[in-house]
Chain A
């Protein structure tokens, strides 16, 4: 196989994370000759989604060989359920109960063995993220026509933690109208606040906020006469901020949230079916459609830059005793040899993450919910915590379960940063899964820290482009922005991901070198559609 791989490319991309994949697609789309490599056997790197088996392998790998996944640490996995399912006779008892007139079927009693046997039904994200309905990624997916490779679900509700309980956040006009949680006077104040923020253009922003540069968003909201409840909704849930959030940042975050309302669902957010890990793959697919060559399980051993003639530099990559040459190397920060990155990326706060699998949603609703929950900081000095709860309808887990992601900036370690929040909304005591309790039972949990490699890293060579890792943010906006910047450096003046044609727009012609027989058949089938010359 190795011998089949050509050795000279215009662009070689190493790593299949979000930024790398977008750059690969963009280069391939304008007919650059692209090779895309990944050292592991799956797409996405730190942006990947795993089924339950894949996740177990990942955990094992991190624990057994910390060198291989240097960016992940403090990883603790815990089960809250039995290894094996209870014996048959207990099940029978459960069914008998149902016949006794209980309307709900008895809750399934999950065991570790059930998880293992249904492992394929899980899609658990390492980097769960949402898309703003009018954000740069949605616009890019549409304008490039890559959206046809992906499916999305609307986030159905935004929740927050207020007065020691979960509360839905009225964020759209319809929500504000329907909610009973705020008085009508508050409704007016809230709508006035939100519509004025949406209405501000750049100039008005500068006017309205010229004296607010050094003040907090909370001070601004208080100045506008909003009640404590409303301030909580706007500051923590809509702007996703903290007490100290600067005013202008708060206004910008609010505006971003509000501008994305009303496009697809009742909230501003979309969630990719089968997890965020699908998205890098969509871009890879486009890259391949336009002739990009893919090679997984292909680590690289060395990177060198060589000046071949005046002003022309070639990047030479050693991989499995083969030498690959390219004009530009695009490389994920985690795969990149340290000597190519200069200066060292700024040390930022790392990220604390957790994944929980539960036997029910954190707050009942009529249809299966897809939830964004934003916790205000509950611990002195801690940050806000973002929670995403996704259910079976998103292809994330089997029926009867929910996958819940927690993300915050690291203070101590993932477990002590996030467990106090998890305990607010889950029953983490293990025990009888069938008992009726207000909180869903936590069946399994995973805490881990990830190094924040999201700061843009400059490379030492103009031909090597280093891609950042995932950030703690809610959306993909920074990844899209960075990918476009890298593309502009590689292909100055070229269009970034112009619209890819639909299959029916593609012409099948005779003048290409004939391939094997099946291509000919395809040609005949297309006869009806394609105009003959």
Chain B
């Protein structure tokens, strides 16, 4: 019929589309082949940079190609002058920017930006580049702001922001990770996100990271000296070099020489044993020196019993924020409390309130935080395990200073909630009796028992152990593992046979 438009049938249309697809595939395969070939022949030149760029611009998520680009960039960096490098740097950034337009959350593209700023630039640092580098960091920081204002559900952008923040605004004078005014600004920003969409976890992650960015120091917390063993414990993991160069055990004014040994066998540990051949008697003056970054700590050890000297420091688990940050946290706490009046059963508001309370003054708000966590366990059963672990950790942090004030050599947690994990166990390495009966401990805690270096009696009765695999090599006089029903008879028998302690069932 005249005047009618004739349209291809769907079959024909399909064939045409398929043909187009095949064409595209051919081009893609061809490019990939060329790239692989050039790489095999180590031709890391601008040509290859261009080839990979073309493919990435249509598909930014091919990790391999980004890897190859980094190889090329490394090569270029070694050959070229500053001027050329600035151009290479700018080109690469605009290339990732283009890719992030296609996929704003492309992990590879974000990673490439980070790599450019952290690896590529620092290697080439010469005085004049430093200022340039700073301004490009600022650009990067602003870029994350822009992306987050578009859509703050973007883990990559928050993460990248945290990296920029540490480099751009460290509080070098105050020894804090971030300058107060920027720290405050970020806390406000993330609170805005959290209140806008509490179900978006990306903001929570960033908030936790911000709350963790306080001034923290390494402290020597404990020294135990017996006729068999000398151990010292730190608040954080320290390296072999650190412990060797910064700590000294002094007996009767003489520094004991010997080698420090980590029990885990790792280079970093919280508990260290000093291997020495000084024999210990009942009439000694023992102290430990720790040359920390800020001040010189000295712990004097006292005789607790026959040939057992123990020195404990004043311990404190309070996060050390600056005054302005505490003020900001109090502001935000106030907003959370108001919201909680309106939405008493909102789990995220309750959890944030609780975390703020803990961060502001864990001792003052101890009871309230514990009650909140107990409520959260009921409101949000899926995360009961997480709340249980927090309960345990905060209870033990509350208990530890009390235990340190006592003369007992016993660790026996008796909280209203059963404990589920064993945090800060190095602090209890001096105890001779560790009674963990009637708790909710699982077998995954077994390896950490290695911290109980001076323990003689260990009671694990009525817990939730299902196996004894991972039980560390410690010398006990008595081990009680009754009432852990899930351990098989066979395993128990085998365990008994291979250990020589007095074991009760």
Contacts and interface: CB of A to CB of B under 8 A. Distances in A.
B335 A184 contact: yes
A504 B338 CA distance: 62
Contact of B193 (A177, A291, A509, A513): A177
B4 A31 contact: yes
A185 B150 CA distance: 21
Contacts of A513: 2
B7 A173 contact: no
B195 A185 contact: yes
Interface string B134-153: 00000000000000011110
A185 B343 CA distance: 11
Interface string A495-533: 000000100111111001100000000000000000100
Interface string B318-350: 000000000000000001001100100000000
Given A173-B197, A177-B149, A184-B191, A506 B7 contact: yes
B87 interface: no
Q: Which of A174, A176, A177, A512 has most B Cβ within 10 Å? A: A177
B41 interface: no
Q: Which of B195, B335, B342 has most A Cβ within 10 Å? A: B195
A177 B196 contact: yes
B147 to A, nearest CB: 11
Nearest to A176: B196
B278 interface: no
A439 interface: no
Contacts of A173: 151, 196-197
Contact of A187 (B13, B151, B195): B195
B152 A174 contact: yes
B265 interface: no
Nearest to A291: B3
Contacts of B198: 188
Interface string B178-200: 00000000000001110111100
Nearest to A31: B4
A291 B4 contact: yes
A55 interface: no
Interface in B192-242: 192-193, 195-198
Nearest to B5: A506
B149 A188 contact: no
A225 interface: yes
Interface in A147-177: 173-174, 176-177
Given A174-B151, A177-B152, A187-B192, A507 B6 contact: yes
Given A185-B195, A185-B339, A178 B149 contact: yes
Interface range on chain A (Cβ under 8 Å from partner) = 20 to 34
Interface string A283-301: 0000001110000000000
Interface in B7-21: 7-8, 12-13, 16
Contacts, number: 61
Given A505-B7, A507-B7, A184 B195 contact: yes
Contact of A185 (B8, B152, B335): B335
Contacts of A504: 16
Q: Which of A174, A290, A508 has most B Cβ within 10 Å? A: A174
Contact of A289 (B5, B13, B149): B5
Given A176-B196, A178-B149, A505-B13, A225 B342 contact: yes
Nearest to A29: B5
A191 interface: yes
Nearest to A500: B5
Contact of A501 (B7, B197, B335): B7
A174 B195 CA distance: 12
A265 to B, nearest CB: 11
Interface in A172-198: 173-174, 176-178, 183-185, 187-189, 191
Contacts of B191: 184
Nearest to B153: A173
A183 B5 CA distance: 59
Q: Which of B6, B7, B196 has most A Cβ within 10 Å? A: B196
Contact of B6 (A174, A290, A509): A509
A191 B196 contact: yes
A366 to B, nearest CB: 12
Nearest to B200: A173
Interface in A214-259: 225
A287 to B, nearest CB: 13
B2 A512 contact: yes
Contacts of B8: 501, 505-507
Interface in A100-149: none
A176 B197 CA distance: 10
Contacts of B342: 189, 225
Nearest to B15: A531
A506 B191 CA distance: 56
Contacts of B197: 173, 177, 191
A203 to B, nearest CB: 23
B192 A184 contact: yes
Interface in A48-77: none
Nearest to B12: A531
B5 A185 contact: no
Contacts of A177: 149, 152, 192-193, 196-197
Nearest to B192: A177
Contacts of B7: 501, 505-507
Interface in B147-183: 149-152
Nearest to A178: B149
Contacts of A508: 6
A173 to B, nearest CB: 6
Contacts of B4: 31, 291
Given A174-B151, A184-B335, A188-B339, 4 more contacts: A177-B149, A184-B191, A290-B5, A506-B7
Interface of B: 2-8, 12-13, 16, 149-152, 191-193, 195-198, 335, 338-339, 342
Closest 5 CB pairs of A and B: A184-B195, A501-B7, A507-B6, A188-B195, A177-B196
14 contacts: A31-B4, A173-B196, A174-B152, A177-B192, A177-B196, A183-B335, A184-B192, A184-B335, A188-B196, A188-B198, A225-B342, A501-B5, A505-B8, A507-B8
